[in-house]
Amino acid sequence: MFVISKLFWMLVQPLSLVFFGGLAALALFAIRWRKAGFVVLSLSLSILFLTLYTTLGTVLLQQLEARFPRPDADPHSVACMIVLGGAFETEVTTSRGGIELNQAADRFVEALRLAVANPQARILVSGGDGSLSGQYEGDAAASVRYFQAFGIERSRLIEEQTSRNTDENVGNSRVLLQQAGLSNCLLITSAFHMPRAMGLFRKQMLDVTPWPTDFRTSGKVRFTLDFTQPTLNAQQTATAVREWIGLASYRLMGRIDVLYPQP
């Protein structure tokens, strides 16, 4: 199922749909099915326009980010926190070592901030190698160097190094939490990812407090034309579409109880 989901996303992400739609249109024109070719080409160009030159992706993303608002103040005491992986450039760190963070870095920046403020808290980092090749270190392994570089003792860390997706994050973390006798942890992940993550934790009957971070929208964007930043628009659209597809597929497979989990 993991491999199927990876291949499925490669095919259905917006720019892939445009590319394969263009190929299909050329094939239809070649066999002189011109009306069908024109329809497919028009659909492909429409997807491309919406992806590159509108705020559609940002609007879809900010709806996800608004689902679980971040609390106004820090918790009085934190016994444990769960940090979902996806913030390290593990292809780079596997060969070069060190610490290389990506756009989701706020997950670990926030975890570090809370770890310093709550020296009693344990930190469970959940993230193995999510690549198809399976030849890279995961976020849990890379996070050891990260936390130790800032003075966090390794004895405080719990490393879940085998998960490849969010569903496995939760299932594997459940076992480790039980073994360590930990409960009522903060759940730290990107705000847009929180609805799916919370749905999975609730399905596993794990009580966690959502602590969203890595916000990528202002929360005030409306749908409009935007010709100023097509690369960012494409990235926002891909992130939003992937997350909405993830919610729908997890609901269809019974991994979450509702399509759009809420507080």
- The 157-160 sheet, strands edge to edge: 157-160, 122-126, 80-84, 185-190, 208-213
Task: Compute φ and ψ for 45, nearest 5 degrees.
Answer: -65, -30
In the prediction, which pLDDT does 89 show?
97
Residue 3 has what pLDDT? 86
pLDDT of the residue at 214 = 98
pLDDT of the residue at 133: 84
Q: What pLDDT sits at residue 66?
A: 98
Q: Which domains does the chain have, with CATH numbers?
A: 2-65+225-252 (no CATH), 80-213 (3.40.50.620)
Length reported for the chain: 263
Each as own residue / partner, the long-range contacts of residues 74-77 (CB below 8 Å, 24 or more positions apart, any chain) are 74/114, 74/117, 75/186, 75/209, 77/118, 77/120
Checking if the pLDDT of 90 tops 90, the result is yes
Query: What average pLDDT does the structure give for the chain?
Result: 96
What is the reported pTM?
0.94
CB 52 within 8 A of CB 233: yes
User: What does the pLDDT average to over 183-211?
Assistant: 97
| pLDDT range class, residue 103, cuts 50, 70, 90 | very high
Q: What are phi and psi of 53, to 5 degrees?
A: -120, 20
The Cα–Cα gap between 177 and 36 comes to: 55
- The dihedral over CA atoms of 27, 33, 38, 43, expressed in degrees to the nearest 10, equals -60
Q: Read off the pLDDT band of 86 (50, 70, 90).
A: very high
| Range 184-200 average pLDDT | 97
